[in-house]
A and B are shown apart, each in its own frame.
Chain A
Amino acid sequence: MANLILGLWLAPALAIALILIIRRPRAAAFLNLAAAIATLGLSLALLARAPAHPVVLGDHFLLLTPLGLWVVLCVALVYVLASIYAVGYMRLLAEEAPRLPWFYALFAGFALTMMVAPFMNNPGIYWIVIDLTTIVSAFLVGFERAAESAEAAWKYIIIVSAGLSLALLGIILFYWAGTFSFGPVYDMTWHRLRLMAPHAPHPLLLLAFLLTLIGFGTKVGLAPMHTWLPDAHSEGPAPVSAMLSGALLNTAMLGVVRFLTVVDAGGLGGAGHDALCVLGALSLVVAALFIVRQTGAKRLMAYSSIEHMGVIALGFGFGGVLGIAGAMYQMLNHALNKSLMFFGAGNMMRAYKSKDMRIMRRIPQFYPVTGTIWLLGAVAITGAPPFGPFQGEMAILRAGMAGPNTWAVAVMALLLIVIFIGFLAHFRRMVAGPAPARGHEPRLVLSVWMTAPLWLALIPLTILGLWWPPLLWRFFAHAAQVMR
């Protein structure tokens, strides 16, 4: 098992080393792609081999839990899709060609940090790795070196670092609470935090949890700490946006959920779940308001990420087997669907030479297949059947009805409808709308690298919408059981 994890880390690490030695854009793109495919294979193997209960490996350094492995799978999936897409997309940025090896090295490095974080058994080390993801991805966001990218990268790193400093304070308070049970010097692990929680003073436990919730919540993009997210997601190159949205946010959500299990163990679960529900509902409110009045295509997708993180937070906040299963299902569906949406947005942005949705008109007329898939993706991401997100959101709504936070169910249902209308109104205008002026028609020919990932995301999304595999259902049930 430890060998598989090592392989999972070595594949991107090796790719980085080779990319930096060879320094050719084309070779770099394919090395990165090879690493991505290897990590996907290894993460699937891990998922198949791992036992249903949490395992500690490597001198108490590594922790395998079903939820952690699930996050790793989501990261690997997005990494593969984004790497395929990057081959075609980054080639269009002709002026950046000499710096492309750096891009791919950073890209693989970003994936590597996200593959490391879920396995960390020590919350402190987990914090550090999450901090590293921020640093690596800030350079990716600022890669294009326009004024907007520099501004977005700066806001991203400042806001997220400030948020994470709160999480660090929370972790130190957790450690301090543990010294009452274990003495002054002990190795902090997730398991130990859960053991000490029942003996810790309640105000301390609650304060520590709220600090970590705000801290990692900033990284997840929960409102009102979401302000970096639309900028970073819209200004980075499209493959980076997909990685940020589909992979990174889940990796940070894992931390929130793990700290939630600690307060659960401490008998303060009610307050913890309520806090998570409030942040989730607030994220939906903010997302709905900004989606309705959005003009930028990628910003629209970014606010939709805030929405989905809100939905997933509500899933974990509602709790229970159904809530956790729904949230995990939604993690996978969102990872696939949001990659599709960002790839489509990237394609149209390059085709129409603008980020503005008011310029992108009559898309199916010029791109019948790609345009249609993008439109279907939009239907899926707003939670309409027969696609995966519909199933996930329904499960979460049902879980909420069973719990104490029924107000959040009402808020969520209402706002999902608002978002459905607002989001698809933009797409209606892009599909129909007045034809672009003569001479301004898009002429870009999309390569297969830029269209294949859309298919690769849409097909599983449809399958997951029509059929929730019993195997997955059992896996989620196990994951929910061991989380308690």
Chain B
Amino acid sequence: MPTFAIGPLAASLFTVLAIVSLFLSFVMLGSHWLKNHIYAFALESWTIAALSAAVAYFGHYQELYIIAVLTALFRGSLLPYLLLRLLTSLRLEREFTALLRPSSSLVLGTALVIVAFLVARHLGTRITSDDRIVLLALTCMLSLKLIGFLMMILRSEAISHILGLLVIENGIFLGSQILVPGMPLLLELVILFDLLIIVLTFGILMRYLQRHAGTTSSRDLQRLVG
């Protein structure tokens, strides 16, 4: 149940923005060039920032404007910048050892979206009669979650794992903007900063890996088993 009345204009705007972010996660899934991933992630974050702003405007949640600005700044600009810098310093260009070809991953991704839709519908129908925005938000949230996990499973470059995690977080953020726009500001702010710390930590650990293990691919990280 979205907690404010949604007009047709707002509904279609939310729908477009949510679908665009879902689409961008497929761009990430389908490409093996790491730079493309980062650009797609940045664009996705900007889309979610736009969604926050739209929810703020139509739902009269003033504090969501702050979230929108911070999302664009942190997730849309700073994180991609840090990741690009990491990419150049590690001299990585593309994912070489993905488990599946891009086309197969896309098909798998589609299947996951269908699963997400079924779960969301199960939850949605029990909760409210037919609120399509809620259904859409739940579907996108779960889809991005599953696609993020799929990316982490199929890829072996450390930076792809980070991106998978960021896609998951984006999904949670996207869903929460529509489902719980009133979630306390403090919590959302702290989660944003937390994300920044995590990415910085990842950056440092990746350099450790490069220096001490000589690789950043999980395929070569096989020392610890059993």
Binding site for B on A (CB under 8 A): 122, 124-125, 128, 131-132, 135, 138-139, 142, 145-155, 157-158, 161-162, 165-166, 168-169, 172, 175-176, 179-180, 183-188, 201-204, 207, 230-231, 234-235, 290, 293-295, 299
Contacts and interface: CB of A to CB of B under 8 A. Distances in A.
A187 B184 contact: yes
B205 A204 contact: no
A180, A184, A290, most chain B CB atoms within 10 A: A184
Nearest to B206: A154
A122 B187 contact: yes
Given A125-B187, A168-B169, 8 more contacts: A154-B158, A154-B208, A165-B169, A176-B179, A179-B182, A186-B182, A187-B184, A203-B123
B223 interface: yes
A172 B176 contact: yes
A150 B184 CA distance: 37
A180 B184 CA distance: 16
A124 B187 CA distance: 7
A57 to B, nearest CB: 18
Interface string B194-207: 10011001101110
A1 B77 CA distance: 44
Contacts of B208: 142, 145, 150, 153-154
Nearest to B202: A157
Contact of A128 (B145, B190, B201): B190
Contacts of B191: 124, 128, 168
Interface stretch (B38-46, B100-108, B209-217): B209-217
B187 A158 contact: no
B226 A148 contact: no
B168 A162 contact: yes
Contacts of A138: 201, 205
Contacts of B179: 172, 176
B133 to A, nearest CB: 13
A128 B148 CA distance: 20
A175 B126 contact: no
B221 interface: yes
Contacts of B175: 169, 172
Given A161-B198, A172-B172, A204-B127, A151 B209 contact: yes
B212 A145 contact: yes
B224 A150 contact: no
B190 A185 contact: no
A154 B141 CA distance: 26
Given A179-B182, A204-B127, A151 B213 contact: yes
B207 to A, nearest CB: 9
Contact of A147 (B169, B198, B212): B212
A142 B205 CA distance: 8
B183 A135 contact: no
A312 to B, nearest CB: 24
A147 B208 CA distance: 9
Contacts of A146: 212
B81 interface: no
Given A128-B191, A169-B141, A179-B182, A158 B165 contact: yes
Contacts of B75: none
B145 A169 contact: yes
A135 B199 CA distance: 10
A146 B221 CA distance: 13
B205 A150 contact: yes
Nearest to A145: B212
B138 to A, nearest CB: 9
A147 B220 CA distance: 11
A155 B221 contact: yes
B149 interface: yes
Contacts of B32: none
Given A145-B208, A179-B3, A162 B152 contact: yes
Contacts of A135: 197-198, 201
Interface in B154-184: 158, 161, 164-165, 168-169, 172, 175-176, 179-184
B1 interface: yes
B183 A175 contact: yes
B205 A207 contact: no
Nearest to A135: B201
